[in-house]
Structure 1
Amino acid sequence: MPLRQDEVPQLTDATAQEPRRRVVYDVTRLVTRALNPAPNGIDRVDFALARHFLERREEERGALVCTAIGPRLADPAKALKTIESVEAHWREESDAQEDSVYRAAVASLRAQGGDANVSARARKAPSFAALSRNVEALRRWAPHLGRPLRTLPQGVVYFNATLFLIDRPWYVGWLASRPDVAPVFFIHDLLPIDAPEFFRSREALLHPARMRHVCRYGAGAVVASKSVARRLMQFAADNGRHDFPICVAPLPAAPVFSKSVAAPAELDGLSYFVVCGTIEPRKNHILLINVWRELAREAKPPKLVIVGKRGWLNAPVVDALEGDDALRPHVVEAGGLSTPGLRRLLAGARALLTPSLGEGFGLPVVEALAAGTPVIVSDIEAFREIGGAAPDYLDPLDGSGWLQAVRDFSAPQSPRRDAALLRLKQWSGADAGGYFATIDDFLARLPRRA
């Protein structure tokens, strides 16, 4: 059932023309990502919001980071430079052809038979030079950490986009002594509470603690979908916050995905599909592994590119990737792929496959739709909300249905894929300008507390 506007507590007694409030952005998690070769979905959201808030005028911005002596204020300009160093390490603005993982993935897609084994496990190792630059940036930044939180001006907004360390009382305790500060949290989902079997056992303890702190201290929350808003409303009410303000702001795709990209010449004539996400149970990679085991029995089957790092509770998938010789020539594991590399792969793919068992949003789906790539997704609430009529929807447990869909979409003249491309032309997603304006307006309307 669609969420009516009056079902989520909103703030409507101000206008968008009100001056922007100073936002102190928590950069703690983001500055720890220098060792990761590529961003995941949470990283993309964190970085986009950090840039938005830290590029403001001096009187409108601030930064908070965890230090050895707890959370402290940091110089926002230096925080931004450090974050940009991490972005450079991720090669967000590079050409796909400069990405060794992309080149290795293409080589695997083009390889025939046993030759595919040579490079079918393309994974990006951290570059010593890039890591050295990031460590140096952190070293230069470190002397500027340490201003106590009591020096914050009255009435600022504290924004945390990842809930990193929010389960720790010592990290959030300062909020109790500063009731004038308006804490706002981005809530990706409540799945570790609702489906703990998909996560490390520790998450079943940590996420409830995070969310209880959100309800205790939060002045409001930002979510990406109405389905998460409904679940958050219920959790907040169960924890005594029946009027908890929630801003629903669907995530936009990064601009690179909306740029027109012709099918790359190096991928011409290749039949392949892409799945994008950390290899962990909720993403349901095992269904696709079983589909490709069946396809491997056929003459000239399409290939599958798995974009994402190895996560947790993934032994069946990893065992198949490393030990199934019949499967190996047909599946490419592209860990550490850059964003430009992903965009280029999507340009030539038959479809993005997303058989997730649960999602709070689904950024790869939005990215593929923005890129003009057909998508085949699980028939779950979040995907219905963001995809509308554009995707092909399948039960995430219907292995034979997914097998048939892959066969249909891989056909050279595929009526099913052509129909998906026609539907895709009617799809439109959120734009970055509107996304940030929605959040800024929400923050401006938050009541100022003494």
Structure 2
Amino acid sequence: MHDRAFLAAALRGSPMDCPVAYDITRLATRVLNRTPNGIDRIDSAFARRLLGSATAGHLAMMMTLQGPRIISGAAAADVVNGIFLHWGEDEAPGEDESYRRIVNWLSGETSSFKAAQRVARGRSGQASGVARWIRQHGFPIGQSPVAALPKGARYLNVSQFPLWIPSYFRWLKQRPDVKGVFFIHDLLPIEHPEYFRKAEYDRHLRRLVNLAEFGAAAIVTTQVVKEALQAHLAPLGRKDMPILVAPIPAAPIFSDRRAASLELTDSPYFVACGTIEPRKNHLLLLHVWRELVRRDGASAPKLVLIGARGWENENVVDLLERCHAIGNHVIEVSGLSTPGLKALMGGARALLMPSFAEGYGLPIAEALAVGTPVIASDIAAFEESGAGRITALSPIDGEKWLETIRAFTAPNSPERAAAKAQTDRFEAPSWSGYFAKAEAFLSDL
């Protein structure tokens, strides 16, 4: 079912026995982004679950110039629904300009492109949407959570924002009956600082210090992240903090077989999803594609890179913008709607995820749900989240990646058929089951 139907379904079920104050500070800023990243999708799903019904009894919090403030349910719902519409989550693939341009490129004959093609659809109406919200609801100057939250409430922060600033969370010390719960997505800025901006190492350390001081519990996506988090919390005196391991499901549209996938049997292509940054290892894929074109010429498959440009990616951008060899075979896309992503992923020969390090890997869950094989790095997080149904390769073995991609490209490929059989046996976890687990964890604290 599409996400609007998902919203209605997610709101059904047993209510929690304690109210939740859900922090929407980061989510409110995402109107400035074309499309959601992984954290955005998780943040949005929780917000729609907890704030989508006036009868749920939950509250919303937002950082303001006066500090953290409780805002009205109507104002919070307007934020959540406005972001959902801005991202184009209800668009049919054919209504998505980026999707149409990709399909035309995949279907067309090769030309004389001098560089990888780029589709970067902008979003309009951000300023008008913010102005409309202020006209309707006013500036968020609601009550302090110290005064407004009912006894025994839970404060839930799924985005890690702004967990590095202790002053935002000191109110929890004045309300020891309110349990602060934080979603920790990974510890990669500490474990692999070479893949991040320099300042992110210290910022993530401060997140963990503040989690230890103000948090009652944490939520993570994999056992890998839980073990890393426990190791860092122990010296901070919180080795026994309750931590829920709950893998995030894909959005329901990915497992909805009624939502069409792209079918281009004469134009084999692969997709890679993720922000263009060093950790995602796009450089390997582009070198592989240059070699594929050298060996196979016009018959080489095409590559669709889906994701915004991030940081410290000069080498990748140089290849995208100046490598003539890949000009007819690589397209870079940002601003794609989720229905468009689902349709493209469903028609791909495989999803490619050559990352050096990850905390989870939501695109893998999405590909498995839609029934698309996955070729991914043999890192622990992918082995766990892929449930043994991925083709795992070393992220530094370029020749093996090339051979595997060529094998999956071939018509009637036995390698791809075996991988497809694995995905067809995959039972995608449901959001209803996920939320039942998360809400039981919150209630039992």
What is the TM-score of this pair, normalised by structure 1?
A: 0.91
Is the 2:116–2:328 Cα contact (8 Å) retained in structure 1? no
Q: Which moved more, 1:332-341 or 1:111-120?
A: 111-120
Is the 1:390–1:426 Cα contact (8 Å) retained in structure 2? no
Is the 1:369–1:424 Cα contact (8 Å) retained in structure 2? yes
Match of 2:142 among 142, 146, 153: 146
Give the aligned partner of residue 11 of structure 1. none
Residue 70 to residue 263, structure 1, CA distance change in 2 (3 Å): closer
Output the CA distance in 1 between the equivalents of 2:163 and 2:74.
24
1:59 deviates by 6.3
1:90 aligns to 2:90 (yes or no): no
Q: Deviations over 1:338-360 (max 9, x none)?
A: 10010010121000000011111
Give the aligned partner of residue 409 of structure 2. 410
Question: What one-letter code is carried by the residue in structure 1 that aligns with 2:368?
Answer: L
Question: What one-letter code is carried by the residue in structure 2 that aligns with 1:435?
Answer: Y
Is the 1:109–1:332 Cα contact (8 Å) retained in structure 2? no
1:437 deviates by 0.3
Give the aligned partner of residue 246 of structure 1. 243
Residue 207 to residue 142, structure 1, CA distance change in 2 (3 Å): farther
1:178 aligns to 2:175 (yes or no): yes
Question: What one-letter code is carried by the residue in structure 2 that aligns with 1:406?
Answer: I
1:150 deviates by 2.2
Output the CA distance in 2 between the equivalents of 1:197 and 1:284.
13
Which segments of structure 1 move beyond 6 Å, counting only runs of 4 or more? none
1:131 deviates by 4.8
Question: What one-letter code is carried by the residue in structure 1 that aligns with 2:421?
Answer: L
3-state DSSP of counterpart to 1:356: coil
Give the aligned partner of residue 272 of structure 2. 275
Output the CA distance in 2 between the equivalents of 1:45 and 1:245.
20
Give the aligned partner of residue 380 of structure 1. 379
Match of 2:262 among 264, 267, 273: 264
Is the 1:377–1:391 Cα contact (8 Å) retained in structure 2? yes
1:216 deviates by 1.1
What is the TM-score of this pair, normalised by structure 2?
A: 0.92
3-state DSSP of counterpart to 1:25: strand
Output the CA distance in 2 between the equivalents of 1:386 and 1:263.
23
Is the 1:92–1:340 Cα contact (8 Å) retained in structure 2? yes
Residue 338 to residue 116, structure 1, CA distance change in 2 (3 Å): farther
What stretches of structure 2 of length at least 5 have no aligned partner?
1-12
Aligned length: 429
Give the aligned partner of residue 323 of structure 1. 322
Residue 397 to residue 57, structure 1, CA distance change in 2 (3 Å): same
Output the CA distance in 1 between the equivalents of 2:69 and 2:237.
30
Output the CA distance in 1 between the equivalents of 2:138 and 2:399.
55
Give the aligned partner of residue 424 of structure 1. 423
Output the CA distance in 1 between the equivalents of 2:130 and 2:73.
17
Note the 1:4-403 alignment, pairs <5 A: 19-58=16-55, 60-114=57-111, 120-127=117-124, 129=125, 131-151=127-147, 152-260=149-257, 261-265=259-263, 267-297=264-294, 298-299=296-297, 300-403=299-402
Question: What one-letter code is carried by the residue in structure 1 that aligns with 2:318?
Answer: D
Residue 153 to residue 341, structure 1, CA distance change in 2 (3 Å): same
Output the CA distance in 2 between the equivalents of 1:195 and 1:209.
16
1:334 deviates by 0.9
1:73 deviates by 1.0
1:113 deviates by 2.9
Q: Deviations over 1:285-339 (max 9, x none)?
A: 1110110110121221101000000001111111111111221221110111110
Question: What one-letter code is carried by the residue in structure 2 that aligns with 1:357?
Answer: F
Is the 1:82–1:141 Cα contact (8 Å) retained in structure 2? no
Question: What one-letter code is carried by the residue in structure 2 that aligns with 1:125?
Answer: G
Output the CA distance in 2 between the equivalents of 1:285 and 1:328.
16
Output the CA distance in 1 between the equivalents of 2:335 and 2:15.
42
Output the CA distance in 2 between the equivalents of 1:402 and 1:91.
34
Question: What one-letter code is carried by the residue in structure 2 that aligns with 1:330?
Answer: H
What value does the CA root-mean-square deviation take over the aligned residues?
A: 1.8
Question: What one-letter code is carried by the residue in structure 1 that aligns with 2:25?
Answer: T
Give the aligned partner of residue 9 of structure 1. none
What stretches of structure 1 of length at least 5 have no aligned partner?
1-15
Output the CA distance in 1 between the equivalents of 2:392 and 2:442.
36
Residue 383 to residue 119, structure 1, CA distance change in 2 (3 Å): closer
Output the CA distance in 1 between the equivalents of 2:324 and 2:156.
48
3-state DSSP of counterpart to 1:326: helix
Residue 256 to residue 174, structure 1, CA distance change in 2 (3 Å): same
Residue 117 to residue 73, structure 1, CA distance change in 2 (3 Å): farther
